Copies of this chain bind each other. A is one copy, B any other.
Amino acid sequence: MRQAGRSLPEYRKVREGIPMLESCTRPELITEITLQPLRRFDVDAAILFSDIVVPLRAVGIDVDIKAGIGPVIETPVRSARDLERLRPLEPDDVPYVTEAVGALVTELGGRPLIGFAGGPFTLASYLVEGGPSKNHDKTKALMYGHPELWHALLGRLAGIAISFLRIQVSAGAAAIQLFDSWVGAVSPDDYRHAILPHTKRIFAALGSHALGDDSVPRIHFGVGTGELLGLMGEAGADVVGVDWRIPLDEAVRRVEPGKALQGNLDPSILLAPWEVIEERAKDVIARGRTAEGHVFNLGHGVLPETDPGVLARLTDLVHAESARTPA
């Protein structure tokens, strides 16, 4: 469960006084924060503590994460000339990631570490808008009005994502997840023409053809992507993440055979009484059994006000239920 840390007092303690992006560049903090949820919850994997804008900052983009707002970019990227600021990412740009992943793999023993990068639409939106956006208007205006510039921008972002993920896999990450959080803002036709080719390139670069023995399972997630699930699988994801808006058994019908699903309990349900959580979690597991592989997860990040005790109880419930043979 991504962002499980946000709800933990020990997370808030180690982060005290340290800006978000600085905490993502200190190997000992990355390691500590990544491990914190595993000390409390019996989860099957760890996910690297980082942020989707970390590689952008590493290549020199003036991005900062402002509390209560999100990523803010001082000088937005809107012209061909601006693209020059998006140079390729080299391993030397993110030594703290290599170091933290290495340390984590040792600490975790057999438990897998999931690597992490931001998807091209979401990163493009932050860069073009200059910060979080409700409608992504400027981003879409660029996408519709200047297709050459758009593809050049997404090409650079895909290249950066590939580097960032390969660095993590080389250092020992056992799977990768590409978060294109806001890609659900576009229609299937737009996804197919404007985004799919770039996502495809990212997943191909992490696949068995490209990496041989190093190839790793590839997970892909975005919010509100009910109409895009088939295309997100087509892009090359092995596991398609699903938010809570669409029941998993319906999501199964929208992806091609051979894809596993991840999801999809509404994070808000964790604020409800335990009986409600239990009923809903069991429902997710039951519907997940219709998929060719199901990774139980929330349908989006853990809400900061979630009770860690509830997360622990949920993890145990999922293990117990998964072990049961369905009637």
Q: Which residues of A contact B (CB under 8 A)?
A: 135-137, 140-141, 144-145, 184-190, 224, 226-227, 244-247, 250, 266-269, 271-273, 276, 283, 300, 303, 305
Contacts and interface: CB of A to CB of B under 8 A. Distances in A.
Given A266-B140, A269-B144, A303 B250 contact: no
Given A227-B226, A227-B250, A266-B140, A145 B271 contact: yes
A300 B139 CA distance: 17
A245 B227 contact: yes
A144 B272 contact: yes
B303 A268 contact: no
Contact of A271 (B144, B184, B186, B246): B144
Nearest to A191: B245
Contact of A269 (B140, B250, B271, B300): B140
A109 B264 CA distance: 51
Contacts of A303: 135, 137
Among A187, A276, A305, the most chain B Cβ lie within 10 Å of the Cβ of: A187
Among A186, A189, A224, A276, the most chain B Cβ lie within 10 Å of the Cβ of: A224
B141 A268 contact: yes
Contact of A135 (B137, B184, B224, B268): B268
Given A135-B267, A135-B300, A145-B271, 4 more contacts: A140-B266, A224-B245, A226-B226, A227-B247
Contacts of A266: 140, 186-187, 190
A250 B253 CA distance: 14
B273 A145 contact: yes
A67 to B, nearest CB: 15
B188 A144 contact: no
Nearest to A223: B224
A163 to B, nearest CB: 30
B187 A271 contact: no
B145 A244 contact: no
Contacts of A184: 224, 245
A184 B247 CA distance: 13
28 contacts: A135-B300, A135-B303, A136-B268, A137-B268, A137-B303, A140-B266, A140-B268, A141-B271, A144-B268, A144-B272, A144-B276, A145-B271, A145-B273, A145-B276, A184-B224, A184-B245, A186-B266, A187-B245, A187-B246, A189-B247, A189-B283, A224-B224, A224-B245, A226-B226, A226-B227, A226-B245, A226-B246, A227-B246
